Every structure is written in C-alpha cells, then in structure tokens.
Amino acid sequence: MVRFLRLIAVIAASAVLFTGTIVAVVAISGVAVHRAASAQELPLPPLDSKVQEPSTVLAADGTTVLATLSGPEFRQPVKLSQVSKVLITAVLDTEDHGFYVHGGFDIPAIVRAFVNDAQGGGLQGGSTIPEQLVKQLYLSSSRTLNRKIREAVLADRLEQKYSRDQILQAYLNTIYLGSGAYGVQAAAKTYFGVPASALTLPQAALLAGMIQDPNGYDPILQPAAARTRRSEVLGRMVHYGDITLAQSAAADKEPLPTAIATTAAPTVVQQDPIAGYYVNQVKQFLLDDSTVLGATYAERYASLFGGGLRIVTNFDPAAQVAAEAAVNRNTPANTQGFEEGLVSIDPSNGAVRALVGGAGAQTQQFDVMTMGERQPGSGFKLFTLLAALQQGYSVYDTVDGQGPCEILFPGNVSMVKTPIQNDNPNEVTQTVVQATANSVNCAFIRLAHEVGLHNVISMAQSLGISPTEIPHALYDYIPSVVIGAAAVKPIEMAGAYAAVANGGVFHAPSFIDTIYDRLGNVVYRGLDPGHRIVSAQVAAEADVAFNAVVSYGTGTAAGLYNRPVAGKTGTTNNNVDAWFNGYTPQLESTVWIGNLHGEVPIILPLYPGGSPQPVYGANFPAQTWHDFAAAVLANQPVLEFPSVNGSLLPATKYITSASLVHDDVVDHNAGYTPPPPSPVSPTTTAGTGGSSPSTTAPAAAPTTTASTTPAGGGGQ
C-alpha cells in the first residue's frame, strides 16, 4: 500500500510540475486512484497460464462473428536454470539492467508517460520486465496513461506474489521473438536449431535485441537492421562490464542465421466467406496502418492474433449480401478478366457497411476498392464543381460546353496539342447543372480554368484523396486531372461523395467501430468525428447537379422509384475503367468495373445475346448501384435532399473572363450574349425527376461512341 500511495503522490506532483495548478493535483490524483484501484481488483492468473487467446472480429450488431484470428504459436516453456547465463545477462542489460534492484514499476517512466499523454503524444517506452510481463499476460498494448498506471500497479502486485526468478522465468517463456516463436526456448530452436541452454554470445545478443521489435530486427528478413541491433546489445553488455571489448568484437563478426530451422504452425483464420475483403481491411489497418494495438509490429501482431480482442466492425451482413448479389447479377460472364467491385458508406459517420473487392478474398487477396488505384474519369468532376461553388459560382450559371476545347493553362499547352473532346459533339452553352448531368468535358475544363487547378486539387485532398495520388507538384499544371487523369482509390472517391450526401461534412471511411480488450476495456473507437469541408448551401447545390445526372443525364439507370438519388458516372479513355458514384441522404455507394491486371478496354454485350459494345459508367455500374440501393433501402424512409436557400444564391451569370477568352484558342466566346436569368426557382423534388435548373429542356442522352479524350477523359 505504501508503494501504491507513493505512485499516486508522484503522479500528482508531476501534474503540478507540468500544469502549475492545484486543480490538476485533484483531477490527476482522482483519475490515478480510480485506475490504480481498478488494477488492484483485477485477478492475477498463474504465471504459466496460456497467454495467447484468439481475437474475434464481429459485425456491427456485435454478435455476428466474421472471423476468429489466431496466429502461429511455437512455445516450449523451460526453467530458468535451462537458459544460458549469457542470454539472461544479454536480456537484462538490454531490457532492464536494474531488474534485481528496483520494484515492479519505474516511477520516472510513469511520470514521462503522464506528461506525454497529457500533451497528446503516444507514451514512451522503458517499461520494466515485470511491467512488460503484465502487459503480455493481462493488458493490451495500447499506449495510454490509463494502461500505464494499471500496468504499474499490477507489476507491483506481481512482485509481491512471486520471486524475481519466477518473474524472469515467466518473462523469458512469454516474450514474442518473431516467426511464431514465443519464449527463448522456441526462439533458440527456430533460428539456431539449439536449446536455450546452448546459446552462444552472438546468438544471445541477437535474441535479446529482437525483443524490442521482432519484425524489424528479423535476421532473415531484415539482416542489416538485425546486425546493427546485435551490435547495440553487445555494446550495452560491454558498458555494464559483463563482456570485454574483444568478446564483443568477436561476436559481432559472427554471421546471422539465413534460414528458419523450425517453422511454427500456420496462422488460422476462420471467417465468413462474404466478409473476407472486409476482415482483411481490419487486419491491415491494425497491423500496418495504425499504432492502436502497439508501437511495434510485434506488439500489434501479438495483440491482434493472441490478445483476446473483441473487434466490433461497421460491417452490415444484410448490406453485404445485397452487394454481392448486385455485383454478381450485373457483371457479365467474360474471359477477359473484367470484374466489378462495390463499397458502401454511411454518410453520417463514414462507417463502411459493405465491401466487394473483387472475385473473392479466398482466391484473390488484392482488393481493388481499397487498394487499387484507378482513373475515375468524370467522377472527378465533383472536385471542380465543389471548388467552383465554394468560390461563389452557382449551379445555375451558364458555361460554354462546345468542343473540341483547346485551352491554355498556366505553364501547360497539352490541351492545345491534344484538344479535349466531348462524348456528344453537339454540346452548347448550358447551365452547370446540365453540364454535370450530361458530363460535358469542355464545360468542366473551362470551369476549372476559372477556378484554378490548385483549388481543384486542394478540394480533392480535403475530401480524402491522398496527396500521394494527386500531389500538387505533379498535377497543378496538368488540366486533364479535371476529367479524371489521376489514378485514385475507389474508397476515397466513395468518401468524397459521402461528404456531399452528409451536407458537406467529411468523415474518413472507417471499418472499425470499437475494440475491447480481453477484460472488456475499450481500447479504440474508430469512427472519424468528421469536419466540415463545404457549407450546407454548397452541398445542396451539388445535390441539385448530381440529382440531375440521375434524373435525365448519364446516370438514369441508377434511378429509384419515388426516391431522390444523386450521383455521377465516370468512364476513362478507351473505356478502360467505368464507375458510378451514387448517393441518397442515407447511403453512398461507389461501383467500379474493369480489369485488375491491365488497361484493357471493356467491350462486352450490354444484354444477353447482344453484340459487344463499349461499357460506360452509365450501364453496368449504374445498374449495379440501382440493384444494391433498391435492396438496402427497401425498408428505409424516403429522405429528401436539403433544399437550396434561394436567398443565398448569387445572381446567375455566364462564366467567362478576359483570361479565358485569351486562353481559349478556338474562341467559342466571341460575340456571345448571355441569356437572362432563369425565372424558375431552384428546387430539388422527390423521385428521380429532381431539379429544374432553367427553362431549357434537358439535353439528349449522350451518344455511345468511345471518347477520344486524353487519359482519364470520358463523360459517361
């Protein structure tokens, strides 16, 4: 109890030191007492209890099991007397030289943890061997002050119950050392084919160094890093006087193992077949893309495959069944390798509800919807539209849509050398709504000229498109990015359109809702809180334009009976990729079709027995979206898109400028007189009838001729 009170006193004192307030003493002390008291009540299982416990991946309902994750495990416990003295010395010198001197916890390390956690950073290392053992036996690897306090109290209790030798023996039998080897006996046999009692100095130094990061210091996979780490361990042993410089130099010259001597059992994953791609995303995020389960890969791996976690995802089994059915129904049988994928997101919070990543995770691990980078075609026009609306343009403004368009952009003459074409050669001046509905390339190229390409790219990045896919330095002066020349991930496009469906608030797509450790504590909450990118008024205007796409434009196949739908088709040059990004207020879904293995034009029969034709986003993807949404929304209420506030709309105008007139090589603006503003008030109506942007009748549906635009172009 004295040590317990000392721990609380030190934490409280550190609060005053770093915040300078007595209030901090009360607050921090209260939290520390509560967390420490909770740790006092936890049972202490025997030191030889089985550590590894499979983790369970669950659907959003918290009960449907999607997968049980258990990793390879090779474990051969030995007595401390069966471990070579040189290995024990190497481990203590590397991990906890004062093990036989200090208590179960290191107060300075806890103070550092408090300061770092209070400042919003991840916790620092430096745990004692008892603390490391407690983390392996009882707690998760999450790096928070809460866990650090509980770890310290449990470590102190451990030292009161067991001798130092018993704790060290348990530690040496518990630590993970890569390649499925748990404990020093298993590791000695895995890497060197000898028992732990026969380890030499260079072998002992290698294993002691691997404790910190078994994956990063793997001698087979990372020999350079492993050799450097072994040298560091030998240096520490010299520092503490346990070996001589000559012994260190000789050990440092010894070769590393180049092959595994003993192989652990393979990983066992039992999963619901239809959830395969989804579960793979959960695993990838927790192992590679975050530090939720630990600072090192080894910590994350051990926690995910042996930590007994309950991982509640955002997966909706019913939506997944509907997605699989829609994709299977609308992907024509073919021998050219064409596949369809679908990802669906709840716009209100970014929760990914369904994912069809390809032909099946059991046979094809690559998931095109989350891992693939494909040209989005005209779906990318979203970002030009939003950037324009944010700058004060209106969807009821008119813009020149005539083609071909030979437009000079600052520092770039590519469109003069290779003019942009429209799918329909008869496009004329029209409203932005009509240009969006009919996916008029030249209208959006001229609009982007006025908006500025850097603003288009900034909008894309603010809505989740990775800067590595469209970096400013590369695309600031490449205007074809406006019509989809940059390859992006389909899930990023889905997240961007979901933000419009959510009134302009963006939530990063999320696969995980909550993670609980084996004791039931919450160690992670995954949903992005979201942040506003554009105003509700801008999002409402965009709804009008994208509703027109489905009402009378290129996306009519996606329309649902008596329910407002908005979206955008996208088809790349030579019909290599075809997309439909569609949404209602409750649901966003993105559908893609193409060939995963190359840029192969999609030429398929549009109906059984028909002759092969070019595939656009307007046909298979839009139809797949329709079938999926009709099934998922069948029992959902019909929600209208928010209305545009007419009082906030600027006066309608013809979009041009002296700069555009100068840079439009084939000048379609000469002598143009803009029409008077439309008397029709902007509204969004129920059903697929949608918007009435002007008195101009909807343009005819685009032709089905293949686009001749540069890479990424294409209207449908």
- Per the CB < 8 A criterion, the answer to whether 587 and 344 are in contact is yes
pLDDT in tens, 218-266: 999 899 999 999 999 999 999 999 999 999 999 999 999 999 886 654 4
Q: What is the pLDDT of residues 196-230, one digit of tens each?
A: 999 999 999 999 999 998 988 999 989 999 999 99
Mean pLDDT value across residues 678-687? 39
Structure tokens that stand for 557 in this block: 């196949």
Range of 44-48, 412-416, 531-535 with top mean pLDDT:
531-535
- The closest alpha carbon to 657, from 435, 400, 454, 390, belongs to 400
User: In the chain, what is the greatest distance between 2 CA atoms, to the nearest angstrom?
Assistant: 97
Q: How big is the chain by its Cα radius of gyration, in Å? A: 31
CB 585 within 8 A of CB 600: no
Residue 327 in contact with residue 342, Cβ under 8 Å? yes
Task: Check residue 692 and give its pLDDT.
Answer: 30
Tell me the CA end-to-end span of the chain in Å, nearest whole number: 73
Domain ranges of the chain: 340-511+534-663
| Nearest-angstrom CA–CA distance, 114 and 97 | 23
pLDDT tens-place string over residues 295-315: 878 778 888 988 889 999 999
* Mean pLDDT, range 421-425, rounded to an integer: 88
Using one digit for the tens of pLDDT, what is the confidence trace for 74-108?
Answer: 788 899 999 999 999 999 999 998 888 875 555 55
The two three-digit tokens of residue 599, written as one number: 């840029």
Contact 449/434 with Cβ under 8 angstroms?
Answer: no
The structure tokens listed for 230 are 């072994």
What gap in Å lies between CA 573 and CA 565, rounded to an integer?
26
Q: How far apart are CA 693 and CA 432, in angstroms?
A: 9
pLDDT in tens, 447-504: 999 999 999 999 999 999 999 888 877 666 688 999 998 999 999 999 999 999 999 9
Residue 687: its pLDDT value, please? Answer: 35
Share of the chain above pLDDT 90, in %: 55
With 80 as the cut, is the pLDDT of residue 400 above it? yes
pLDDT of residue 472: 77
Buried b or exposed e, range 639-675, using 16+ CB within 10 angstroms: eebeebeeeebeebeebbeeebeebbeeebbeeeeee
pTM for the full predicted model: 0.73
Give CA–CA dist 133/158, Å, rounded. Answer: 9
Give the sign of the dihedral formed by CA 276, CA 279, CA 283, CA 289. Answer: positive
For residue 405, give every residue at least 6 positions away whose Cβ sits within 8 Å of its Cβ, in sequence order, or none.
415, 419, 420, 441, 442, 445, 446, 664, 666, 668
Q: How far is CA 212 from the centre of its chain?
A: 27
- Express as a percent the part of the chain with pLDDT over 70: 78
| pLDDT at residue 352 tops 50 | yes
CATH topology of domain 340-511+534-663: Beta-lactamase (3.40.710)
Residue 339 and residue 331 in contact, taking contact as beta carbons nearer than 8 Å: yes
More confident residue, 18 or 372: 372
